[in-house]
Chain A
Amino acid sequence: MIITILYYVLIGFIAGLILWNLFKTRKWQDELLYVIILMPFILRLLRLK
């Protein structure tokens, strides 16, 4: 259970980092890439996958 909670904290942290990078970048290719890689992290946080 502790490992699971830590895992979700880690997932939330990485999702936050991806969002931060998305807002900071100026290249549209990177923006699209960040949105794509964000999706599985959000689906995990919501316990859908």
Chain B
Amino acid sequence: MRVNVRSLRKAGFLLLGAALMLLAGLSFYNSRHLKEPVVLGPSVTEVKKLSDYFEGLEGTINDANVYVLEGQEPGGSVLILGGTHPEEPAGRLATWILAENAVLEQGRLFLILSANRSGTTVTRLGGAYPPDYSIETPWGERTFRMGDRWSNPLDQWPDPEVYIHYPSRQELAYMDIRNLNRTWPGRANGTLTEKTCFAIIQMIKEEKIDIAIDLHEAELQYPVISVIVAHEKGQDLAAMTSMMISGMGGFDLGMENSPHALRGLSHREIGDHTDAISLLLEAPEPMLDATRGRTDRKLLLEGKDEFVVKAGEHGLLFEKIDENGWPIDVRVGRHCSAILQILELWTEDHPERGVVVTSVPRYAEVIENGTGAYLHDHRKVSPARLRFE
């Protein structure tokens, strides 16, 4: 009789464990497989894959969509990368707005919304991040995967003791072998993350990209924040953009030179290994700060955190913050305005290689109307004009 009671108890514990595993497993599965719709905007003429430029990515999770927007008039080509670090959502959302709204009058725009798609399918291990977040729109909600800074270990594993960057052989932190912004220019026989960079480099060369813009967000305790980081080829363009935005754009945007000594970053390696000008934009994201409080969707979208504010009172931050925080619309709006300003200045200086874009909201418009106002109802679109990330 005693044995039976014990067996029943063991079975009960196992059932309880199975139920908890089911709940956790479903959350992990949904986080990895959530479909993010993209309504193709009026100027999207083609959706390519990264494997069109490098076969080695075919069939992998990082074979990302490449949205090609073409104008009536020939001109230059610009690449915008969102989702290099998927846990910095303003960059992805800005590319979403461009893909769904931009009208190209001249030149071509190449958009990658999930540069490290593997990184969008996992959240920070042990970080208690929300698995996803939703943006309010006039027609309902659009839900996006939260993502992480690094590729999913399910897709690239194990990490080395020390990551040795190719080709510089600089020693970097072990986990940065899965960081898309530490593995440029990549290599054909490397890890998944290195192959992804290699594919994008091939695309930049093949499509004769003039400017590559990599969209990011940064913690307020990090000195490189609210800036354009520019390769030396793009210093004039970045400096002019910084002056124009800070003078008339409605917010301050600084400029930093890409350091020669720090390898693997897009602003350094794309500029060094291709003909393109490489720029990187940083917006403030309090959720990334180590001293933050509860890490939830509210903090991600509203950017309000009393502990980060307290850190600011003690002079520990490189960007200001008050009770209004850094809402997602402000961060997305900064990226939209900076991109438009870069394109305008480039086109002024290089009319034959110009890229003229309209119908994309600027900073003040995104804040006034909200990011969701520029995301279209995917339920009312024909399948031919719909893609998923």
Which residues of A are at the interface with B, using a C-beta cutoff of 8 A? 3-4, 7, 22-23, 26, 28, 31-32, 35-36, 38-39, 42-43, 46-49
Whether A47 pairs with B9 at a CB distance below 8 angstroms is no
The residues of B that contact A39 with a CB separation of less than 8 Å are 17, 20-21, 24
Contact call B16/A35, Cβ cutoff below 8 A = yes
Query: In the complex, which residues of chain A have a beta carbon less than 8 angstroms from the beta carbon of B158?
Result: 3-4, 7
Q: Which residues of A contact B32 (CB under 8 A)?
A: 48
Query: Chain A's nearest CB lies how many Å from the CB of B122?
Result: 8
Is B6's beta carbon under 8 Å from chain A? yes
In the bound complex, how far is the Cα of B16 from the Cα of A36, in angstroms? 9
Shortest CB-to-CB span from A29 to chain B, Å, is: 11
Q: Is the CB of B28 within 8 A of A49?
A: yes
Q: A35-B14, A49-B25 are in contact. List 11 more A-B contacts (CB 8 A).
A: A4-B157, A22-B13, A31-B10, A36-B17, A38-B17, A39-B20, A43-B24, A48-B24, A48-B25, A49-B24, A49-B28
Q: CA A39 – CA B20 in complex, angstroms?
A: 8
Mostly, the B contact residues are helix
B261 touches A (CB below 8 Å): no
Chain A residues with Cβ below 8 Å from B174 are none
Is the interface on chain B under 10, 10 to 19, 20 to 34, or 35 or more residues?
10 to 19
Contacting residues, chain B, for A43 (C-beta < 8 A): 21, 24-25, 28
Interface of A is mostly: helix
List A contacts of B21 (CB < 8 A): 39, 42-43
Alpha-carbon distance between A22 and B20 when the two chains are bound, in angstroms: 17
Report yes or no: A28 in contact with B25, Cβ–Cβ below 8 A: no
User: Within B29-57, which residues are at the interface with A (CB < 8 Å)?
Assistant: 29, 32
Say if the beta carbon of B128 comes within 8 Å of chain A.
no
B1 on interface, CB distance cutoff 8 Å: no
Please, how many angstroms separate the alpha-carbon atoms of A46 and B24 in the complex?
12
- Please measure, in the bound complex, the distance between the C-alpha atom of A40 and the C-alpha atom of B13, giving whole angstroms: 16
List A contacts of B25 (CB < 8 A). Answer: 43, 46, 48-49
Question: Is B384 part of the contact surface with A, judged by Cβ < 8 Å?
Answer: no
A and B contact pairs by CB, cutoff 8 A, 7 listed: A4-B157, A26-B6, A31-B13, A39-B21, A48-B25, A48-B28, A49-B24
Chain B residues whose CB sits within 8 angstroms of the CB of A32 once the complex forms: 13
- Nearest neighbor of B3 in chain A, beta-carbon distance: A26
Q: Please, which residues of chain A bring their CB within 8 A of the CB of B157?
A: 4, 7
B17: A residues at CB distance < 8 A: 35-36, 38-39
In the complex, A23→B10 CA distance in Å? 7
A46 shortest CB reach to chain B, Å: 7
Chain A CB within 8 A of B154 CB: yes
Interfacial residues of chain B within 4-18, with CB under 8 A of chain A in the complex: 6, 9-10, 13-14, 16-17
Cβ of A31 and Cβ of B9 under 8 Å apart?
A: yes
On chain B, the residues within 8 Å of A26 by CB distance are: 6
Q: Which residues of A contact B154 (CB under 8 A)?
A: 47, 49
Q: How far is the CB of A39 from chain B (nearest CB, A)?
A: 5
Distance of B17 from chain A, by nearest CB (Å): 4
Closest 10 CB pairs of A and B: A35-B17, A48-B28, A35-B13, A48-B25, A49-B28, A39-B21, A31-B13, A31-B10, A32-B13, A47-B154
